[in-house]
Amino acid sequence: PRCGDPLSGSPSLTQSRHSLHLGDCAAALARYGRERRRDLGLAAEQLRLARRHLGRITGHVGAEDVLDIIFRDFCVGK
Cβ pair 15, 51 in contact under 8 A: no
Give which of 12, 68, 60 is closest to 50, Cα–Cα: 60
**1 found inside a domain:** no
Reported pTM: 0.63
**41 found inside a domain:** yes
**42 found inside a domain:** yes
Cβ pair 61, 55 in contact under 8 A: yes
Measured CA to CA, the distance from residue 33 to residue 42 in angstroms comes to: 11
Structural domain boundaries, residue 61: 13-74
Q: Assign residue 10 a region: left if phi > 0, alpha if psi is -120 to 50, beta otherwise?
A: beta
- Give pLDDT, residue 58: 85
**3 found inside a domain:** no
Q: What is the pLDDT of residues 42-74, one digit of tens each?
A: 999 999 899 889 888 888 877 777 667 667 777
**18 found inside a domain:** yes
